[in-house]
Structure 1
């Protein structure tokens, strides 16, 4: 996973973020390359929320990424619930 894919997964516009905060992006990219994405998220969680609000990913970009993603397995139809009828003696 690249840093740009990570940012889009967190719904952050990577291009706008990089243009406005080049030093912060370089610092984050260096940290991201050295650790697992989950560890990076845990370490920068409160900062990520603020960045997401300042540089939100556009809805069209999110829809395009979802369209490019591989389709998942098809859902199987749910089985109907059995009807419970009371026994009368």
Structure 2
């Protein structure tokens, strides 16, 4: 699973997150590559929830 797939699974708009907070995005992407997705989730759980509220992934109804 890639970091962008992980963000989409968590309903976070990856490109918007990357553009708004490039340093945090890069740091998290590097950490994600070093650990299991479940471990990453546990480590960043409360931060992920805050990110989801700021960068909610909008799905089109096509």
Instruction: Output the TM-score relative to the length of structure 1.
Output: 0.67
Equivalences, count: 62
Q: Structure 2: 5+ residue runs without aligned partners?
A: none
Matched residue, 2:58: 58
Matched residue, 1:36: 36
Q: What is the CA-CA distance between 1:11 and the residue it aligns to?
A: 0.1
Matched residue, 1:47: 47
Per-residue deviation, residues 24-82 of structure 1 (Å, max 9, x unmatched): 0000001000000000000000000000000000021xx67xxxxxxxxxxxxxxxxxx
4+ residue stretches of structure 1 with deviation over 2 A?
A: none
What is the distance in 2 between the residues matched to 1:18 and 1:27? 11
Q: Structure 1: 5+ residue runs without aligned partners?
A: 65-89
- Root-mean-square deviation (CA, aligned residues, Å) is 1.2
Which structure has more relative contact order (CA 8 Å, sep 6+)? It is 2
Please state which structure has a larger fraction of its residues in helix: 2
